[in-house]
């Protein structure tokens, strides 16, 4: 319970935070006192809204009510105990005490500690909206709201994290999304007992039912347009405070082959791009393993001319084919990892080292045969076609498994690894939807928007495995009946 004395209240709060340097307090005429954290609050707002408001106060008799009515701010609430007071202060509120009252007024004076809406850096596109989510939670919600001006778009807030007290919003469209799934996710979120949530990755890990699989079951994106199309498909979007990455679920394998950009291009071109990604999906997993299998076990499949040339390229290389391939697959992953984390200044030095030293010089030094460089190059290029980091990492792990299987058993091992991959993919489910939907189980109708993107006229229905409200266009309701 709050004390009636300003000094007591302020001292209590200061003690609560061990007199941290960013606590600012002021007491006016021994009647009004306020406290805020200058690190998260805007001094301008405090001066503008509070100090100006205090000037308008005519009588000190019913001071509390006067303040309550006259402060220029719409974000206001009353509080009468200490429990949540520090949460609000840390969220950028200013707390106003009045002498003689055991209630306090909280006024929002948050300073914008973010970088503003900028272009997406992790998922750049050629055509289409270029804005991206930021670390600011209300702004993120705003970026979705301004795209879907529908009263059925719901944001359900939950506070997760004992210490961080992070707001997690579950967004869905009430009459499209599957409410069972929504309730399931909300109840799961409420059950989470963890001390901190720093990024949406934490939430994802806690939500994923079977996290043994390397394949991602949620799309993690910073593109508001992708979040909106997903919402309109009947998916659920989870926005986490302080991170630009929102989670979209459920996600099937096919969703990682799609890009929002596909819907902004002409259908034929978009279909071509998707087909390209499907091909790359296989190339990037299979190529090095296939190479090892053919080179060390089944050379009879390689055409004659190529065989002689390959055998000559291997001449003088000290490592066995599989070690050679594994070595360079790993070297490429090192390069990629180093490239992601290196500052722009050292970027050019890195590319010189990567391209010249590890490519050309390694061949000349006889460490690696030229064909292996080509194999690794093809593999890596097809890997980078995907925009989602999680799928790229998943593919990488399977690629190495294919190499090892091929190393041990040749084409037979290669096929076995393929069977294991297929079995693994089929057994993954996300919110009870199998991972290979719409291929297994089969949803022929949904094929209009799977590997190929049909023209808009053919996309009148939403996927029936995501939502019961499958009619996307009004005019086709009549046809349906």
Partner 1 sequence: MKKIIISFFILFGVCGCWNYKELNDYAIANGMAIDYIDNKYNVSFLISNGKKIENKSSNSQYQSFIYSGSGDTISDAVNDIGLIIPKQLYIGELNSIVISEEVAKNGLYDALEYLLEDSKSKKNFFVVLAKDSLAKDILSVTTQISDNLSESISNNIQSSNRSQGSIVSKTFNDIIYELVNDGIDTFISSYTIVGNKDMGVTNDDLESNEPKSYIKYDNLGIFKGDKLVGWADSNQSNGINIINNDVNELYLNIPCDDGYVVVNTTDLHSKKEIGKDFVKINTTGNAWISEVTCSINLDNEDNINELKKRIDMEIEKLINAGFMFARENKSDVFGFGLSYYKNNPKEYKSINWDDIYSKIGINVNVNIDIKKSGSLKKNIERIKDE
**Contact set with partner 1 (CB under 8 A):** 212, 295-297, 299-300, 304-305, 307-315, 317, 320-321, 404-405, 407-410, 413, 416
CA-CA distance, 297 to 229, in Å (whole number)?
48
Report the residue number, 153 or 294, with the smaller CB distance to partner 1: 294
Report the residue number, 7 or 412, with the smaller CB distance to partner 1: 412
Report the residue number, 315 or 479, with the smaller CB distance to partner 1: 315
CA-CA distance, 319 to 324, in Å (whole number)?
6
127 C-beta neighbours (distance < 10 Å), count: 9
Report the residue number, 76 or 327, with the smaller CB distance to partner 1: 327
User: Least distance in Å: CB of 419 to partner 1?
Assistant: 11
Chain position carrying tokens 């041990």: 408
Report the residue number, 27 or 307, with the smaller CB distance to partner 1: 307
User: Least distance in Å: CB of 433 to partner 1?
Assistant: 23
CA-CA distance, 478 to 192, in Å (whole number)?
45
Residue 39 has which token pair?
A: 């690190």
Report the residue number, 295 or 373, with the smaller CB distance to partner 1: 295
User: Least distance in Å: CB of 427 to partner 1?
Assistant: 11
Report the residue number, 283 or 401, with the smaller CB distance to partner 1: 401
The strand pairing partners of 269, in sequence order, are none
Residue 96: name the closest of 40, 53, 44 by CA. 53
User: Least distance in Å: CB of 213 to partner 1?
Assistant: 11
User: Least distance in Å: CB of 390 to partner 1?
Assistant: 21
Report the residue number, 322 or 466, with the smaller CB distance to partner 1: 322
- Beta strand 32-37 with 23-28 is antiparallel
User: Least distance in Å: CB of 369 to partner 1?
Assistant: 9
Report the residue number, 197 or 376, with the smaller CB distance to partner 1: 376
Residue 373 has which token pair?
A: 């460089």
Report the residue number, 413 or 438, with the smaller CB distance to partner 1: 413
Q: How many residues are recorded in the chain?
A: 481
User: Least distance in Å: CB of 314 to partner 1?
Assistant: 4
User: Least distance in Å: CB of 311 to partner 1?
Assistant: 5
Report the residue number, 16 or 404, with the smaller CB distance to partner 1: 404
User: Least distance in Å: CB of 360 to partner 1?
Assistant: 17
User: Least distance in Å: CB of 293 to partner 1?
Assistant: 10
Chain position carrying tokens 């291009």: 265
Q: C-alpha angle with apex 450: 445 to 455, nearest 5 degrees?
A: 75
Report the residue number, 212 or 341, with the smaller CB distance to partner 1: 212
User: Least distance in Å: CB of 361 to partner 1?
Assistant: 19
Cβ–Cβ under 8 Å, residues 210 and 432: no
Burial of 218 (0-12, 13-18, 19+ CB in 10 A): buried
User: Least distance in Å: CB of 428 to partner 1?
Assistant: 14
């Amino acid at each position: 319970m709050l004390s009636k004395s300003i000094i007591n209240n302020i001292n209590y709060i200061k003690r609560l935070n061990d007199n941290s340097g960013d606590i600012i307090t002021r007491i006016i005429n021994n009647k009004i006192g306020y406290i805020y954290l200058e690190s998260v609050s805007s001094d301008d707002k405090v001066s503008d809204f509070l100090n100006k408001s205090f000037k308008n106060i005519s009588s000190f008799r019913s001071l509390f009510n006067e303040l309550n009515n006259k402060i220029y701010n719409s974000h206001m609430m009353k509080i009468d105990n200490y429990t949540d007071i520090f949460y609000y202060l840390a969220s950028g509120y200013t707390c106003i005490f009045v002498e003689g009252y055991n209630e306090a007024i909280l006024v929002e004076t948050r300073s914008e500690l973010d970088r503003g809406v900028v272009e997406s850096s992790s998922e750049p596109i050629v055509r289409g909206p270029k804005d991206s989510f930021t670390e600011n939670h209300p702004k993120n919600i705003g970026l979705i709201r301004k795209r879907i001006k529908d009263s059925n778009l719901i944001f359900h807030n939950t506070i997760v994290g004992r210490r961080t007290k992070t707001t997690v919003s579950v967004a869905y469209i009430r009459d499209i999304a599957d409410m069972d799934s929504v309730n399931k996710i909300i109840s799961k979120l409420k059950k989470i007992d963890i001390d901190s949530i720093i990024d949406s990755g934490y939430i994802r890990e806690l939500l994923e039912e079977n996290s043994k699989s390397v394949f991602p079951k949620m799309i993690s994106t910073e593109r508001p347009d992708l979040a909106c199309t997903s919402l309109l498909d009947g998916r659920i979007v989870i926005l986490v405070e302080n991170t630009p990455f929102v989670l979209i679920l459920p996600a099937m394998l096919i969703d990682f082959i799609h890009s929002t950009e596909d819907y902004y291009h002409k259908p034929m071109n978009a279909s071509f791009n998707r087909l390209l990604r499907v091909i790359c999906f296989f190339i990037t997993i299979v190529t090095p393993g296939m190479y090892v299998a053919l080179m060390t076990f089944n050379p009879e499949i390689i055409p004659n001319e190529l065989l002689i040339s390959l055998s000559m390229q291997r001449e003088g290389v000290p490592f066995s084919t599989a070690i050679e391939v594994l070595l360079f697959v790993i070297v490429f992953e090192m390069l990629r990892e180093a490239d992601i984390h290196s500052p722009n200044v050292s970027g050019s030095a890195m590319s010189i080292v990567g391209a010249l030293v590890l490519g050309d010089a390694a061949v000349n030094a006889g460490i690696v045969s030229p064909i292996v460089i080509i194999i690794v190059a093809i593999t890596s290029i097809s890997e980078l076609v995907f925009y989602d980091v999680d799928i790229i990492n998943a593919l990488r792990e399977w690629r190495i498994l294919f190499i090892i299987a091929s190393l041990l058993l040749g084409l037979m091992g290669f096929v076995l690894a393929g069977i294991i991959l297929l079995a693994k993919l089929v057994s993954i489910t996300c919110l009870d939807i199998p991972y290979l939907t719409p291929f297994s189980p089969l949803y022929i109708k949904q094929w209009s928007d799977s590997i190929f993107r049909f023209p808009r006229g053919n996309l009148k229905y939403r996927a029936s495995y995501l939502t019961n409200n499958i009619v996307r266009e009004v005019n086709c309701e009549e046809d349906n009946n």
